[in-house]
Chain A
Amino acid sequence: MPIFSKEEAQALLKKVLSYSKADECEVNLSASDNSNIRYARNAVSTSGKVSQKSLAVSSAFGKKLGVATINEFDDASLEKVVRRSEELARLAPENPEFVSFLGPQQYAEAKTFIPATAAITPQQRAEFVAQSINVAKAQKAVAAGFLEDNAGFSAMMNSKGLFAYGTSSNVNFSVTVRTEDGKGSGYATRGYNDVTKLDTKAATQIATDKGVKSATAKAIEPGKYTVILEPAASAVLLERILFGLDARQADEGRSFLSKPGGQTRLGEKLMDERVNIYSDPSHPELPTSTWSGDGRPQEKISWIEKGVIKNLSYSRYWAQKKGVKAVPGPDAFVMEGGSASLEDLIRSTKKGILVTRLWYIRDVDPQTLLLTGLTRDGTFYIENGKIQFPIKNFRFNESPVIMLNNVEELGKPERTVSVESNQNYLIPPMKIRDFTFTSLSDAV
């Protein structure tokens, strides 16, 4: 898959637009290489590579919109895809929510592409896995893991003069290490734009230590406990807040951000005042695209500031209807913290539970954002500042909104990966009081 330069992308998009006879036309172009290697039982099980390129043409006649896609870029194919999108638009019913395409925008330069990540070879992937397996084997443990990397570009142009272009790369790695007798299990995950930061050996060492140390788990009673959530554990809860920031759902009265009387909780303090969550495409540790799929600039936005809901995201239609700025939803988020390490948080805990990973997260009640799920792959009991013994896994029923009201201490943020969405975030380890565990699980 060739990564088109800005100029090449611009030239191709201009050509596509030149075929348009519609009232308005917008073209999105993207291409990427996605490669992966999977292993289990200390051996590689599958590996694969998908190269894809795609060009999507959106044509509009009045409020009638048609979208057609193609993956061949010769002149005849390009003209054909434009014609097809126009045919589809003519046949489409009027969409009363159609908003005319956006005019020219200014974007900051994205820092999301690292050439080393785009250049990963199959040998390197195999080597990353070999290093991981060797660590597990050395401790007579069994590793299963997955490494996937991608690199590509995307660009868009429309008949109103908008042009956007960006490149990106990413690598995600996760590993679960189990003891041979299946009585212990540990986990670690890492995600980076830059593959040179990835150390599968060190990550697997952490997973292996947790796996080995968790092998003699005791059952303790479910109930409300102080927990220390590692970033990989809290990521899957916090992202549910971010997925739920849509203004329309809140305005329509069907979101945890709706409140009695038909208003929303925008501007209300819902969480502890130490809770600050924002998105920033130019963050050096978590760079993201500087534009959204419909061409809106992605800027630094505070979502929760000192526990107050500061901003909601809007579709362009809903923003127009409400007469507000159409702020797009974020691609990632950063939660601020302090300077304490995970070990510091453990040291300052009288009684509590260390949680490595949470799993199978499902909405229980969208009204309160109540979620359920289970601990997994390394759950330990802490007393008097020390890990005392491994404990059996718990099911929890907890709302991240309630949880962020019960903050005891926040550590130093680190980049992590959500096992649910695969998204990367920057999140501190956090100590939370009164986290609700409702039953025990025998699962290892």
Chain B
Amino acid sequence: MKRRDFIQLTGLGLGGMFLPAQLMGKSVSEQVLLEPFLDVPAKKNLADVALSTAKSSGATYADIRIGRYLNQFISTRENKVQGIESSESYGCGVRVIANGTWGFAATNEVTTEGIKKAAQRAVAIAKANAKFQKEPVKLAPVQGYGEVSWKTTIQRNAFEIPVSEKVDLLLNANAAALQNGASFVNSNLFMINEQKYFASTEGSYIDQDIHRIWPTFTVSVTDKASGKFKSRQALSAPMGMGYEYMIPKTEDKQWAPQGMVLYRNSYDIVEDAATAAKQAKEMITAKSVEPGKYDLVLEPNHLGLTIHESVGHPLELDRILGYEANYAGTSFATLDKLKSGNFNYGSKIVNIFADKTQPGSLGAVGYDDEGVKSRRWDLIKDGIFVNVQAIRDQVHILGQNESHGCCYAQSWSDVQFQRMPNVSLAPGKDPYSVQDMIKDVEKGIYIAGRGSYSIDQQRYNFQFGGTVFYEIKNGQITGMLNDVAYQSNTQEFWNSCVKICDERDYRLFGSFFDGKGQPSQVSAVSHGSSTARFNGVNVINTGRTI
């Protein structure tokens, strides 16, 4: 992800945090976030202008996305509010095929005249680029859905909650961390509402209202005497939900070792901040790991990132074909491995599916950004690599005639392309609990939460850290460990998966700002799993002295 394109929110904790500048739009007052947008008939009229202008200018296909993107970001540290930013970005993007080639143009003049010009410009760009085209674009057929709409199921729109209430919640979490021994704490709340209207010459007019939320914090403990410092990140997940995620419910709290609590569909930020401070303190004196082979018990808030990097990205068709070769890279998961029908991506209990429908997930929409109804499909079935992720203009390469419905653009001003759907590990079929994962491990490590992650450009070799590490000896958790990272190879790792908890432990992890492409675009995606065990994984010690 390119750092220059990002705005740094200062003081958000170690390393800072970078927000995509493109998402920020213009600053508005919080009341604007609740003001209504153009009504559907007005959007339809404007969309028809784009479609008819494109057609009469020579396009054989056209679509338009009229988008209003609303964001609110709140950041605090200790007892101080550092920033409250409400923003709105509004405009439309027109995409066409002319002379067998894509063309795209965007404008923030959402008027008949502005849209006409954008449509004409898109057609002109397509015609100009046609001379570089080797083969004409082939679109998989899609049904025209007529006038339809879809909304994220939310109980409380986060923008309706007064800012003061949201600030108070973050400051309460900070106070809980400080009371429990934190030296510093930074907390943030991100809320996003995408109001987007899609129309295409296929006969679809789709109005969607999409909500996402992400509470997070970094608690740090410093030890002056030794000069050591340790941090513990929040164990929340970004979700496709409203403010109801911030209201803790007992039934959403999941058991975890050493009194730790993990969260499913609601989050207790105050409780987690208090635990974080205690754990960060414990990390200062925790034992440094002995490098070697360990059985790893990985909980969903950790495993989600491993799924994202080692299964989600390598199975993007555009990447497999070489379109990302200069930046993100290509993929070890080549089409000949897919076609062989016998490539063992993982052990027999590994079932990984893609899906754009799961309630509460970041990737859930009714229709993707090229008007394809969202769905679920298998990527790895009983350990075998069976499918990838593809959109309308590439799915024919697989010999398939239906897009998977995973096309996305981060805003109205960016062109849509293939993005990762939610990619999740199916829960195990046997009734295993987390305790069952641990009880027969002789030498192992339980890992919770995301940490440092790095993977090569074809997604073979990876190294992952985590948030919290507990040593397992002879079926018992014996204490906290420091300096842990595991290194493996994607195929080896998934083939070492020996046990997966059942659906009682299933929950979502999420990546709120996943980057791809040049220029880079972000998207938000969830990964569900239950706690799972991987035997004999190589663990290194990351402790150094400078």
Q: Cβ of B322 and Cβ of A144 under 8 Å apart?
A: yes
Interface readout for B113-135 with A: 1 if CB under 8 Å, 0 if not? 00000000000010011001110
Q: Cβ of A397 and Cβ of B546 under 8 Å apart?
A: no
| Chain A nearest Cβ from B123, distance in angstroms | 15
Known: A372-B463, A397-B540. A182 touches B224 (CB 8 A): no
Decide if A333 is an interface residue (CB 8 Å cutoff): no
Decide if A253 is an interface residue (CB 8 Å cutoff): yes
Decide if B399 is an interface residue (CB 8 Å cutoff): no
Interface residues in B, total, Cβ within 8 A: 75
Decide if A148 is an interface residue (CB 8 Å cutoff): yes
Q: Cβ of A67 and Cβ of B27 under 8 Å apart?
A: yes
Interface residues in A, total, Cβ within 8 A: 88
Q: Chain A residues with Cβ under 8 A from B457's Cβ?
A: 359-360, 374, 376, 443
Q: Cβ of B461 and Cβ of A254 under 8 Å apart?
A: no
Decide if A343 is an interface residue (CB 8 Å cutoff): no
Known: A253-B224, A443-B461. A368 touches B454 (CB 8 A): no
Q: Cβ of B229 and Cβ of A258 under 8 Å apart?
A: yes
- A50, A261, A397, A442: which contacts B227 (Cβ < 8 A)? A261
Interface readout for A186-212 with B: 1 if CB under 8 Å, 0 if not? 000000000000000000000000000
Q: Cβ of A70 and Cβ of B26 under 8 Å apart?
A: yes
**Smallest CB gap from B543: residue in A:** A365
Q: Cβ of A182 and Cβ of B456 under 8 Å apart?
A: no
Known: A48-B415, A92-B84, A402-B544. A175 touches B461 (CB 8 A): no
Q: Cβ of A368 and Cβ of B544 under 8 Å apart?
A: yes
Binds B, one of A106-114, A161-169, A433-441: A433-441
Decide if A286 is an interface residue (CB 8 Å cutoff): no
Decide if A45 is an interface residue (CB 8 Å cutoff): yes
Binds A, one of B190-198, B326-334, B345-353, B497-505: B326-334
Decide if A2 is an interface residue (CB 8 Å cutoff): no
Known: A126-B132, A253-B183, A364-B452. A69 touches B26 (CB 8 A): yes
Interface residues of A in 79-93 (CB under 8 A from B): 84, 87-88, 91-93
Decide if A296 is an interface residue (CB 8 Å cutoff): no
Known: A47-B129, A443-B461. A393 touches B456 (CB 8 A): yes
Q: Cβ of A40 and Cβ of B15 under 8 Å apart?
A: no
| Chain B nearest Cβ from A154, distance in angstroms | 14
**Smallest CB gap from A41: residue in B:** B322
Q: Cβ of B485 and Cβ of A395 under 8 Å apart?
A: no
- B14, B413, B545: which contacts A254 (Cβ < 8 A)? B14
Q: Cβ of A148 and Cβ of B80 under 8 Å apart?
A: no
Q: Cβ of B3 and Cβ of A421 under 8 Å apart?
A: yes
| Chain B nearest Cβ from A321, distance in angstroms | 14
Q: Cβ of B458 and Cβ of A364 under 8 Å apart?
A: no
Decide if A4 is an interface residue (CB 8 Å cutoff): no
> What is the bound-complex CA distance between A34 and B329, given in angstroms?
24
Q: Cβ of A36 and Cβ of B460 under 8 Å apart?
A: no
Q: Cβ of A438 and Cβ of B487 under 8 Å apart?
A: yes
Interface residues of B in 308-353 (CB under 8 A from A): 321-327, 329-330, 332
Q: Cβ of B323 and Cβ of A41 under 8 Å apart?
A: yes
Decide if A366 is an interface residue (CB 8 Å cutoff): yes
Interface residues of B in 91-148 (CB under 8 A from A): 102, 104, 108, 125, 128-129, 132-134
Decide if B489 is an interface residue (CB 8 Å cutoff): yes
**Given A68-B27, A95-B81, 8 new contacts (CB under 8 A):** A34-B519, A47-B125, A48-B415, A69-B26, A96-B80, A178-B322, A423-B3, A438-B463
Query: Which of B's residues lie within 8 Å of A, judged by CB?
Result: 2-5, 10-11, 14-15, 26-29, 80-82, 84, 102, 104, 108, 125, 128-129, 132-134, 167, 183-184, 220, 222-229, 231, 321-327, 329-330, 332, 413, 415, 452-461, 463, 465, 483, 485, 487, 489, 518-519, 538, 540, 542-546
Query: Which of A's residues lie within 8 Å of B, judged by CB?
Result: 34, 36, 38, 40-41, 43-48, 50, 56, 67-71, 84, 87-88, 91-93, 95-97, 122, 126, 142, 144-146, 148, 174-176, 178, 182, 185, 248-249, 252-256, 258-262, 270, 315, 359-370, 372-374, 376, 393, 395, 397, 399, 401-402, 419-423, 438-444
